[in-house]
Amino acid sequence: MEGISIAFEVMTTSPAVFAAMLGVAWGIVGGALPGISPSITMALLLPFTYDMDPIPAIVLLASTYVGAEYGGSIPAILIRTPGTNAAAATAVDGYEMQKQGRGGEALGISLVSGVTGGALGYLFLVIFTEPLASVALAFSFPAYFALGVLGLSVIASLSGDGLVKGLIAGIVGLMIATVGTDPLSGVGRFTFGQAELLSGIPFILVMVGLFAVSELMVQAGKPEGEKKQTVQTRIQLPTFRNWRKLWRSQGIGGGIGIFEGVMPGAGGSIAAFMSYNEARRWSSVADNYGKGEPEGIAAPETANNAVANTALVPVLSFGIPGSNSTAILLGGLLIHGLQPGPLLFQREQEFVYGLFGGLLVANISLFLIGILMLTPAIWLVNRPKPYLMACILALVFSGIYSINHSVFDLYVVLICGALGYCMRLMGFPFLPMVLGLVLGYLIEANYRRALELTGGSHSIFIEDPIALGLLTVAALFVVGSAARDVVATRKAARAREAEGAGS
Amino acid sequence: MLHRVPRDVWIGLAVIAGAGFYWLGADGIPISPLDGAVNAAAMPKALALALAVLGALLIIRSLSVEMMAARAGAAPAAAQSLSDEDRRANRIKHLRAAGVVVIGAGYLLIVTTVGYIISIAALITVLAFYIGAKADWRLPATALGIAVGFYVIFVQFLGIPLPPGILQALGV
């Protein structure tokens, strides 16, 4: 009850409601633009949150995530070009419905399912985040170090069959985190005499460069190709009777979305495709899937919007982001001096319940804003790519400059963009690098503080049961992924051998 | 016998070289009297070592796959799928991508002197044209309109002092 009253007070006395609505609207627009993922949409907004109060700033970012997951379905349905990775599953039946002249109906189902998934995920977030976070109350320096290592070990599950490359990217992230004044001794590290580097390289510059600028580079490298088809449609919400037919697929999508959101590395895309498959498996009209079946839109859209809420659970409880979008959200929290974990719930109650209140507004307003923003989103989808891309770079430069009024920062963003492009080219994933960057301080500072307690003996990490447990889980993660990597390598080699034998 | 060195081997070598440079930087971190049991250079040195080991692992992994395939007589992965035409297309793609960085750097070189509105309009015009917009009067006109819109949002609405440049000298 106390939480509700705090949330109500924050909602009525701060601009969080406005931030939630603005975030949803911006998210829908960003999500609707093919190539602009939810993480890029959030990264573009990050500079503008710098001077804001923490509550509206984080509500703005979290609401953007909510809006972007729905926004991605708009071009997926209208032009079979998913605005987000998670919307790829929606495109299967959504575009079929559009071809049958039922595009407005498909958009309506997507919106209603998105709101339903958001509500289910939101309930889970509000009920389970605090109890989970309270586990961390017993944490000491070694345990926090181990928690950081566990967070990094998520890399293993995110790197697919490229575990080594994922680990390299994670190490590079940790290396970037060491730039600047050492927090414990005050010694400058890797500053090369540049005063601008004394305070380190802010996450925001790396994130915007990696996600937004590198994407612009990728888009610039693509040929214009055929002229974009121009589409127009009006949203058509499902009747109550039709909505009831979707309950089972929405329930499946919601359940899978809640589970996948909490799991590190799973994310909206996996949730969307898994829920599509499961909804089809349990459907009485399974044969209609792929031919314009509304359930084929309802399940993935419910799932990815549930993920947008439950993905916040590990971030707020332990400070471990499981996806690019939540890594940016974690960056936003740290920028505002908010350290996730149990103390956040004790010391920053106003923030936590304010965020919950803001997310409630975001999930509810998604319904109305989703209808209102459809026309501008379609207008933007129909704009020529060159203008859109040029405007995005202009927005990146203007937003980043506004943080410190520094042209040096813009050079850093550009360099990070080039680095991101090279990483894409060579098959290095981004998320491990971002994880290394945001978890670098947590890991190093707590490692060194722990060793201060023992005069340099590492036995403290074995004697502390929580640290030992977390380190064991982290080791299992890495060993399991390494085993999977070896199996995949052998399989690839055998396939090549078979190919050689056949030729 | 390998026909061609796989790409990941080159990447692994570059990673090891990067680890070496990083180690040299870490070695130059001064010792502080405030250092405790672990000094400020310890973590960077550990990271450099870990990076070098991972670089070596990448090379070993890549070579082992290639050699197993070579023994079986399969075409090497590096030379397998790309024709000369594909390679040329890739080169053009990467050069076009690099052009975005060059255009961005060009903007950064002029923004403080020329000022925000003119330089951002120039950035939008050049980048849009570069990515494929038609070169007619509408391109710079649209770019100027967007630049003025951005200026109003950032300077007038958000109160952010963007570089005025020559416009200030002209008293605008």
Given a cut of 90, whether residue B22 has pLDDT beyond it is: yes
What is residue A115's predicted lDDT score, i.e. its pLDDT? 92
Given a cut of 90, whether residue A172 has pLDDT beyond it is: yes
Name which of A385, A401, A493 is nearest B162 (Cβ-Cβ).
A401
Mean pLDDT of the A235-240 span: 85
CB atoms under 10 Å from CB of B14, counted, come to 14
What is residue A184's predicted lDDT score, i.e. its pLDDT? 80
Which residues in chain B are closer than 8 Å to A222, comparing Cβ atoms?
A: 93
Tell me how close the Cα of A452 comes to any Cα of chain B, in angstroms.
6
- CA dist A405 and A195 (Å) reads 15
Q: How confident is the model at residue A278 (pLDDT cuts 50, 70, 90)?
A: confident
Given a cut of 50, whether residue A219 has pLDDT beyond it is: yes
- CA dist A379 and A381 (Å) reads 6
B167 close contact with A: CB closer than 8 A = no
Q: Which residues contact A137 (CB under 8 A, 6 or more apart)?
A: A342
Tell me how close the Cα of B170 comes to any Cα of chain A, in angstroms.
22
Tell me how close the Cα of B150 comes to any Cα of chain A, in angstroms.
8
Q: How confident is the model at residue B171 (pLDDT cuts 50, 70, 90)?
A: low
Closest residue in A to B128 (Cα–Cα): A386
Which A-chain residues 181-210 have CB contacts (< 8 A) with chain B? 182, 184-190
Tell me how close the Cα of A482 comes to any Cα of chain B, in angstroms.
12
When mean pLDDT is compared over A337-351, A413-427, B155-169, the highest value belongs to A413-427
- CA dist A350 and A289 (Å) reads 46
Given a cut of 80, whether residue B133 has pLDDT beyond it is: yes
What is the overall mean pLDDT for chain A? 84
Q: Strand locations in A38-134, DSSP E? A: none
Which residues in chain A are closer than 8 Å to B128, comparing Cβ atoms?
A: 386-387, 389-390
Given a cut of 50, whether residue A310 has pLDDT beyond it is: yes
Q: Considering only A340-354, A390-404, B20-34, which range has the smallest mean pLDDT?
A: A340-354
Q: Write out pLDDT tens, residues B90-132.
A: 888 999 999 999 999 999 999 999 999 999 999 999 999 998 8
Complex ipTM, two decimals? 0.89
What is residue A183's predicted lDDT score, i.e. its pLDDT? 77
What is residue A185's predicted lDDT score, i.e. its pLDDT? 81
A447 close contact with B: CB closer than 8 A = yes
Comparison of pLDDT for A186 and A28, the residue scoring more: A28
Given a cut of 90, whether residue A376 has pLDDT beyond it is: no
- Give percent helix, percent strand, percent coil of chain B, each to the nearest 5: 75, 0, 25
Which residues in chain B are closer than 8 Å to A395, comparing Cβ atoms?
A: 150
Q: What stretches of A311-406 show up as alpha helix (H) in DSSP? A: 312-318, 324-335, 342-347, 349-372, 374-381, 385-404
Residue type, A62: A
A426 close contact with B: CB closer than 8 A = yes
Q: Write out pLDDT tens, residues A295-306.
A: 999 999 999 899
A8 in the Ramachandran plot: left (φ > 0), alpha (ψ -120 to 50) or beta? alpha
CA dihedral for A130, A327, A262, A22, sign (positive or negative): positive
What is residue A253's predicted lDDT score, i.e. its pLDDT? 92
Residue type, A405: H
Q: How confident is the model at residue B141 (pLDDT cuts 50, 70, 90)?
A: very high
Report the percentage of chain A scoring pLDDT > 70: 92
What is residue B127's predicted lDDT score, i.e. its pLDDT? 94
Tell me how close the Cα of A295 comes to any Cα of chain B, in angstroms.
39
Mean pLDDT of the A217-240 span: 74
Which B-chain residues 2-21 have CB contacts (< 8 A) with chain A? 7, 11, 15
Place of tokens 């030379």: B79
Answer yes or no: are the C-beta atoms of A129 and A317 closer than 8 Å. Answer: yes
Q: Mark yes or no for CB contact A448/B37 under 8 Å.
A: yes
Six token digits for residue A481: 């992924």
B148 close contact with A: CB closer than 8 A = no
Given a cut of 90, whether residue A487 has pLDDT beyond it is: no
What is residue A231's predicted lDDT score, i.e. its pLDDT? 66
Which B-chain residues 72-131 have CB contacts (< 8 A) with chain A? 72-75, 77, 93-94, 96-101, 104-105, 107-108, 111-112, 116, 120, 123-125, 127-131
Q: Considering only A145-149, B129-133, B143-147, which range has the smallest mean pLDDT?
A: A145-149
Name which of B71, B108, B124 is nearest A390 (Cβ-Cβ).
B124
A405 close contact with B: CB closer than 8 A = yes
Name which of A220, A387, A426 is nearest B99 (Cβ-Cβ).
A220
Given a cut of 50, whether residue A226 has pLDDT beyond it is: no
Given a cut of 90, whether residue A35 has pLDDT beyond it is: no
Comparison of pLDDT for A25 and A151, the residue scoring more: A25
Q: Write out pLDDT tens, residues B54-101.
A: 999 999 988 888 887 777 666 555 545 667 888 888 888 999 999 999
State which H helix or E strand residue B79 sits in: helix B77-80
Comparison of pLDDT for A162 and A498, the residue scoring more: A162
Comparison of pLDDT for A234 and A289, the residue scoring more: A289
Mean pLDDT of the A135-160 span: 75
When mean pLDDT is compared over A318-322, A379-383, B44-48, the highest value belongs to B44-48
Given a cut of 60, whether residue A491 has pLDDT beyond it is: yes
Q: What is the dihedral of CA A142, A145, A146, A151, to 10 degrees?
A: 160
A423 close contact with B: CB closer than 8 A = no
Q: Mark yes or no for CB contact B38/A451 under 8 Å.
A: yes
Report the percentage of chain B scoring pLDDT > 70: 88
- CA dist A13 and A317 (Å) reads 26
Name which of B41, B127, B161 is nearest A389 (Cβ-Cβ).
B127
Q: Mark yes or no for CB contact B108/A401 under 8 Å.
A: no
Which residues in chain B are closer than 8 Å to A503, comparing Cβ atoms?
A: 73-75
Which residues in chain A are closer than 8 Å to B37, comparing Cβ atoms?
A: 448, 451-452, 454-456
What is residue B146's predicted lDDT score, i.e. its pLDDT? 92
B159 close contact with A: CB closer than 8 A = no
Q: Which residues contact B85 (CB under 8 A, 6 or more apart)?
A: none
Instruction: Supply the pTM of this predicted model.
Output: 0.77
Comparison of pLDDT for A47 and B158, the residue scoring more: A47
What is residue A396's predicted lDDT score, i.e. its pLDDT? 85
